[in-house]
Amino acid sequence: KKNNGFTALDVAEDNIDSSYLFHQRLTWMALINAGAPRGSNPVSENLRSFKKPDGGKYKDRVNTLMLVATLVATMTFTAGFTLPGGYNGSVPNLGMSTLAKKTAFQVFLVCDTLAMYSSIITIVSLIWAQLGDLSLILKAFNIALPFLGLALTSMSIAFMAGTYAAVSHLPLLCYFILGIGAIFLLVLLLLLVPYVSPYTYTQPFLRHILYYPY
């Protein structure tokens, strides 16, 4: 602890807001996963009270996140009406999806829907961040980042499941798609978790899992 009661974890969490560097984020995650203690006084009432925060520096970040979320919402909305496999052209299932009974297609629909609504929530929360109030921006980030991470992950799974459903009659190609998709999904998660994860982990099991990659 420092003289004024701050632990290393307190300082790391404060620096996440003041200077969003990836190295600082990884340092914070290492402290969290190692079970580092917090000080007796909240950081928001101590460290941040000595600063004069400026919400203007978050403007570019808000705009970038909103652009990404808008692209995800657009692509997933479009994918919902251009379903893989096409539509049935004969009665009694006229206009229905030809792959509706396939498990992979159902996974595609669930993940595509999840990605679209998650990206919409991200956009709405970032609209509030446009007001420029620092406390509102930070709260908006706490909502937007996890949902954006969920949207990107769900969109990736939806693409993999939709492609798998469309070529399910070719087993070798299906396995190749699943293998490539699983590898890149793992890479995506390793890149996303430090950026979109919330500022606190209370579950020892989750800390134990994240300890090894980070």
Q: What percent of the chain has pLDDT over 70?
A: 61
Is the model more confident about 79 or about 24? 79
Q: pLDDT tens across 25-40, in order?
A: 666 666 666 666 666 5
Q: What is the pLDDT of residue 213?
A: 67
Region 164-176: mean pLDDT is 88
Helix/strand/coil for 200: coil
Q: What is the pLDDT of residue 56?
A: 59
Q: What percent of the chain has pLDDT over 90?
A: 28
Region 129-147: mean pLDDT is 83
Bridge partners for 97 per DSSP:
87
Region 132-136: mean pLDDT is 75
Q: What is the pLDDT of residue 73?
A: 94
Tell me which of 118-122, 163-167, 172-176, 195-199 is least confident: 195-199
Asked whether 87 and 151 are in contact (CB, 8 A), the reply is no
Region 146-151: mean pLDDT is 92
Q: Which is it for the CA torsion 46, 51, 52, 55, positive or negative?
A: negative
Q: pLDDT tens across 69-102, in order?
A: 999 999 999 988 888 777 666 667 666 777 777 8
The H-assigned helical ranges of 95-170 are 103-129, 134-166
**Residue 49 binned pLDDT confidence (cut-offs 50, 70, 90):** very low
What is the rounded CA–CA span in Å between residue 30 and residue 20? 16
What is the rounded CA–CA span in Å between residue 207 and residue 118? 25
User: 148-176: string of b/e by CB count within 10 Å (b at 16+)?
Assistant: bbbbbbbbbbbbbbbbbbbebeeeeebee
Q: What is the pLDDT of residue 44?
A: 45
Q: What is the pLDDT of residue 69?
A: 94
Chain mean pLDDT for the chain: 76
Q: What is the pLDDT of residue 89?
A: 65
User: Can you give the pTM of this predicted structure?
Assistant: 0.69
What is the rounded CA–CA span in Å between residue 113 and residue 77? 8
Q: What is the pLDDT of residue 104?
A: 86
